[in-house]
Structure 1
Amino acid sequence: MKKLKLHFDNELQGSFKLKKLNILLVFQVNCPGCFSYALPFFNKLYHEFHTENLSFIALSTAFEDFDKNTLENTQNLIKRGTFIGETKKFMKEQGYNKLPYNLNFPIAMDKINDTNTVDLNDAVNAICAINPNYTIWPEFEKKALQHKVKNYLNSLDKIALTFTLNQLRGTPSFVLFNSDYEIINEWFGHVPYEEIQQKIIQFL
């Protein structure tokens, strides 16, 4: 079973404690959809399930706009409810200059490194291992994929470790995982509330 590689340096609000079942929201502060949909959605899940054996963590990340999707802007969001970039434009169009709801769950910042400070071999191996058939491929196919992934990583100036090593498709992303960090289910984009709700109930 695929395992979640969860990396963060800074817990900005609350504290994540690994439980039998855990749910992760990965968002960007410069992501209007994260604010119109994913963060209120995560609040709703938190209010329904935080008293159960389910742990919550929202991770602010960056796979683009590294000048906007920053630790500082995430801290300003949490402390002051302020927006940045496209999110600011979108929320202003909706009539909001500040965040109109509370963020009640633990929040941390994805570990973001310059590519020259990351062990690319470890990163390459982690990304390649996501392919369920990778271990049974012939050696020449493995090397071809390793080369392709290394070139991709070398093309980046910065790497958000959780986002990149798990090869998430974008933001918002939701990941449900167990106490061994095994991924039970993952979702990208707009998901019906009942779909994640029922998956949680199934595994609690």
Structure 2
Amino acid sequence: MSKFHLNTQELIQGEFIINKINIAFVFQVNCPGCFIYGIPIMNHLYKLFQDKVSFIGVATAFEDFEFNNEANLKLLLENGTLVGETKKYYNTNYGISNYPEVPKFPIAFDRITPYEELLNSNMIEQMCNAIPNFTNFSENEKEIIVTKVKAYYSKIPFIAETFTLNQLQGTPSFIIFDEKYNISGIYFGHQSVDVLQNKLEHLLL
């Protein structure tokens, strides 16, 4: 069973205490879909399950670093300030520049690491282990993959650890995991709230 690597900076909002059932919501502030679908879903689930499930939002950055940063996350949490493409979407479609449904759940910013530190740590190994069936590959195949991973990330000056180590497809992403950080479900993109709600209800039985 895959492990969830939750590597964040200090919490900016709320408190996260690991529970038997946990859900992480990985998003970017410059991601309209995260606001259209993701945050409302998380607010709804938080309202329903906050007494039984631990919640954490992880604001990350794998592009558009001028918008996807901790300063803009704090502005969002303080007064709903929107930036970049998210601001453009809500301004164009609703004539507003502040998000009306500010996140209610605990939130931290992803830990950002310079590539040089990533290269000189065990993170490359963790990233490769997140690849399906990686442990079953031959040693030669593993070396080829590790070399490709290093070459790819050498072009990126900063690495968002939670997003990268878990090899997430993009944002929004929802990860459900247990107290040992074993993953029981990963959901990427526009999800039905019923799918996530039913999964949590099933795990709580």
Task: Pick the TM interval, shorter chain.
Answer: over 0.9
Which residue number corresponds to residue 104 of structure 1? 104
Which residue number corresponds to residue 151 of structure 1? 151
Query: What secondary structure does 2:168 align onto?
Result: coil
Give distance in 2, aligned partners of 1:3 and 1:88.
34
Which residue number corresponds to residue 57 of structure 1? 56
Which structure 1 residue ranges, 5 or more long, are not aligned? none
Give distance in 1, aligned partners of 2:56 and 2:67.
21
Q: Does 1:184 align with 2:192?
A: no
Code of the aligned partner of 1:76: L
Give distance in 1, aligned partners of 2:121 and 2:110.
20
Identity across the alignment (%): 42
Task: List aligned pairs for 1:79-98, cutoff 5 A.
Answer: 79-93=78-92, 94-98=94-98
Which residue number corresponds to residue 6 of structure 1? 6
Which residue number corresponds to residue 129 of structure 2? 129
TM-score (norm 1): 0.96
Q: C-alpha deviations, 1:45-102, integer Å up to 9, x for none?
A: 10111122x1000010001011110000000110121011111111112222211123
Which structure 2 residue ranges, 5 or more long, are not aligned? none
Code of the aligned partner of 2:7: H
Code of the aligned partner of 1:202: H
Query: What secondary structure does 2:169 align onto?
Result: coil
Code of the aligned partner of 2:167: Q
Q: Judging changes above 3 Å, is the alpha-carbon distance between structure 1 residues 132 and 102 closer, same or farther for their aligned structure 2 residues?
A: closer
Code of the aligned partner of 1:110: D
Contact between 1:56 and 1:105, CA under 8 Å: does it hold in 2?
yes
Deviation at 1:118, TM superposition (A): 2.6
Paired positions, count: 203
Query: What secondary structure does 1:30 align onto?
Result: coil
Which residue number corresponds to residue 161 of structure 2? 161
Query: What secondary structure does 1:10 align onto?
Result: strand
Contact between 1:57 and 1:107, CA under 8 Å: does it hold in 2?
yes
Deviation at 1:116, TM superposition (A): 2.0
Query: What secondary structure does 2:177 align onto?
Result: strand
Deviation at 1:193, TM superposition (A): 1.1
The list of structure 1 runs, each at least 4 consecutive aligned residues, that deviate by more than 3 angstroms after superposition, is none
Query: What secondary structure does 1:96 align onto?
Result: coil
TM-score (norm 2): 0.95
Contact between 2:38 and 2:172, CA under 8 Å: does it hold in 1?
yes
Query: What secondary structure does 2:74 align onto?
Result: helix
Query: What secondary structure does 1:25 align onto?
Result: strand
Worse overlay, 128-137 or 143-152: 128-137
Which residue number corresponds to residue 197 of structure 2? 197
Give distance in 1, aligned partners of 2:120 and 2:149.
9
Which residue number corresponds to residue 67 of structure 1? 66
Q: Judging changes above 3 Å, is the alpha-carbon distance between structure 1 residues 121 and 38 closer, same or farther for their aligned structure 2 residues?
A: same
